[in-house]
Structure 1
């Protein structure tokens, strides 16, 4: 792979994984727009590792606190805390994407990767994000999430199996509809991305293990590193400014992207 291709695809993955604008749409469309050769499964795994390392690294204190309190509460119910409860909510929110991912894997890899599907989902879920941002009460934080809330957010996240939907965008939309603040909806979306990326990365790794394609370790390492840097910075600045800027800039971007796809690629 050429250096410019590695940089472009890794930066796209790092930025779009956590912004509500769909990483899958950008990675599917990038070879079409740029005439790059397909980056291959190994590179997809590498950039997933990079984004996973970024979100775990950014939320390292929360991950340690939630994990330790969760297992402590399993051993002693009297030790239950809001962190252990949040751990259960993360698990519940992850269940739908695991189920839908296994059931729809073959369909997603074939029929749903078309530019028309991506354009429609990009625009439709942009509208839903705008509506949720406008009508949501934005009064709750992630520690107020109940099991039914977590399940609803998980179902929204599962819709992101369809390219163009955006995993972070759909789960944030669900959180906003349920009255979470923008920051809380985003933080919970990023936290549930950890097991979700682990699941998707695990499936990609299983596919990769059955492939005989030789690995370009330099390209994979650069891709993972660049994805880590861009994803970490994206999470930091998104959470810092999201309460101020709102979701409108991302909605406008989705409308423009969907319109361009319909105009030039459909």
Structure 2
């Protein structure tokens, strides 16, 4: 109790800015947790408060996420190039409108819900929804969504069977990731499982669906990361290094997760999320951590 209180008391004020220790640790956490269904924003929020008694802020998180999305671009470069070329070809030639053309539109349409809600609810996302009681509660409750998705989803539909309906539903589910504790991949993959998609198919489409939204959020948040209305400011060097760290760690996380989901249930992550949520609640209840 005394140690945590001392850490919080010595933590830098938002006006002082993020330290290099924070930058490195939080960027590693971002890379490790962005693609796992454990909520990267939730973990960044928890670790920031636990170690430094301060919330680094949604803008810092959004910018560093660019590193993990660059990892997606590199990892799925062939798939992304094929979809892009197929989409552009289909725009000008009806005869070329195959699956890749449709996939391009599925990603675009599936991104619209989070783009609209992200802009309209920007203030709530950066302030009100970052309360740690909310994060801890969502970590626990949404774990049961994973369990239900695994239990009731038949996991029989392949990648070529994806439809616009799937994209819209998974796109709506992606909006839940705006709440720290839900998890972008957890929300979209669970929706995919309920739609009877194969687990690996749902995971791959989840990655593709995240690319436009995360890049837009990161670029949109760049000015605020230097001079945030909420959270701590970061320097250009810190954001650059943080993005690079998140890229390297994130690339390894993608490779591991795709191998894992090929043979294991998402329910394993629920077994991790529930104890973490309970621990955070206990720390909040005993005053070791502050909720805001």
Question: TM-score, structure 1 length as denominator?
Answer: 0.92
Which deviates more from structure 2 when the two are superposed, residues 149-158 or residues 42-51?
A: 42-51
Is residue 2:267 matched to residue 1:248? yes
Is residue 2:263 matched to residue 1:263? no
Query: Match for residue 245 of structure 2?
Result: 226
Change (3 A) 1:187 1:49: same
The aligned runs of 1:119-198 (5 Å cut-off) are 119-198=136-215
Q: Could you give the per-residue CA deviations for residues 91-134 of structure 1, whole angstroms, max 9, x where no partner exists?
A: 12111111111221111222211111111211111110111012
Judge conservation of contact 2:24–2:242 (CA < 8 Å) in 1.
yes
- CA apart distance, 1:180: 0.8
Judge conservation of contact 2:63–2:217 (CA < 8 Å) in 1.
no
Partners of 1:43 and 1:13 lie apart in 2 by 11
Partners of 1:103 and 1:60 lie apart in 2 by 32
Give the alignment's Cα RMSD to 1 decimal.
2.1
Q: Could you give the per-residue CA deviations for residues 135-188 of structure 1, whole angstroms, max 9, x where no partner exists?
A: 111111232121111111111111111121111110011001001111001000
Query: Match for residue 47 of structure 1?
Result: 64
Query: Match for residue 27 of structure 1?
Result: 44
Partners of 2:107 and 2:268 lie apart in 1 by 28
- CA apart distance, 1:243: 2.0
Query: Match for residue 82 of structure 1?
Result: 99
Higher share in helix: 1
Is residue 2:62 matched to residue 1:68? no
- CA apart distance, 1:50: 0.9
- CA apart distance, 1:199: 2.0
Partners of 1:4 and 1:201 lie apart in 2 by 21
Partners of 2:76 and 2:207 lie apart in 1 by 9
- CA apart distance, 1:39: 4.1
Judge conservation of contact 2:62–2:214 (CA < 8 Å) in 1.
no
Question: TM-score, structure 2 length as denominator?
Answer: 0.84
User: How many correspondences in the alignment?
Assistant: 266
Structure number with greater Rg is 2
Judge conservation of contact 1:15–1:230 (CA < 8 Å) in 2.
yes
Judge conservation of contact 1:138–1:182 (CA < 8 Å) in 2.
yes
> Which segments of 5 or more consecutive residues in structure 1 lack a partner in the other structure?
none
The alignment partner of 2:88 has SS state of helix
Change (3 A) 1:178 1:34: same
